[in-house]
Amino acid sequence: MALVFVSWILGLVISYGFLTLVAKSVFEPMGQILSIFSNVSFDIQSGEFVSLLGPSGSGKSSLLYIVSLLKTPTAGEIYLDDVLISRAKNKNEIRYENFGFVFQHHFLIPHLTVLENVCTASYEKNVEKQAKDLLERLGLKDLMNQKPYKLSGGERQRVAIARAVVKKPRILFADEPTASLDHHTAQEIMKIFSELQENTTVVCATHDYGILPKTARILRIKNGKVVEDDRTGENE
């Protein structure tokens, strides 16, 4: 994924209509164009649990960051509820009011405890109780008062997931959410995501085939293209 990340820094030209992305590559002479995506177009319905499936370097994480407004296209369109949001000036507000995120890097606040980190995501009066219930369910009951630096990578990942879920976002974007997790915990995460679906759409970038039975739709990404749109999955 280093190529995509650096390419964003150097400059990115994105043509949506069919969602075509091109970028200046650090591995080619300056100014040469490298195609990252081509002929990609899809819609996601409210309440769907969608997996963007592909190997490392396929572009699934970049696609996730684009549709969640964390990367800005220079051309093209992204809509939410038939409202054009890709050119909106208030992207931060749109993200805060509608989206939740689980990143590969956890971005926990180092001086806050585990419980405090989770509670920062919501202003609901009962957020602390919800946070405690989630953390207990994720096997972190005895770590609620610990600071992030005392946790393992897998434990920090679970805290980040609890923080995203407690917000009850309209759309939850998750980038490799089961990385660093054992099979049992990964399945529990997917179960929690599935339970959100009455009010939350889940879009998950992953290369973990083990979580696919929990998703209702699979978009297979290969070499910057959606090569398959499988709607035959079933949520359990």
- pLDDT by residue (tens digit) across 5-56? 223 332 333 333 333 333 333 333 444 444 556 566 778 888 889 999 988 8
pLDDT value of position 213: 82
- Residues 6 or more apart from 53 whose CB is under 8 A from it? 60, 206, 207, 209, 212, 218, 219, 220, 221
pLDDT value of position 190: 87
pLDDT value of position 45: 83
Q: What pLDDT tens digit does each residue of the chain (236 aa) get?
A: 322 222 333 233 333 333 333 333 333 344 444 455 656 677 888 888 999 998 888 878 888 888 888 886 655 678 888 788 888 899 999 999 999 999 888 899 999 999 999 999 998 889 999 999 999 999 999 999 999 999 998 999 999 999 999 999 999 999 999 887 888 888 888 888 888 867 889 999 998 888 888 888 998 988 777 788 888 655 44
* CB 207, CB 201: distance < 8 Å: no
pLDDT in tens, 197-206: 678 899 999 9
pLDDT value of position 197: 67
pLDDT value of position 4: 29
Task: Give the Cα separation of 3 and 36 in Å (integer).
Answer: 10
**Domains by residue range for the chain, with CATH:** 44-230 (3.40.50.300)
pTM of the full structure: 0.79
- Residues 6 or more apart from 16 whose CB is under 8 A from it? 73, 75, 76, 77, 78, 86
* CB 91, CB 99: distance < 8 Å: no
User: What six digits make up the tokens of 167?
Assistant: 């917000």
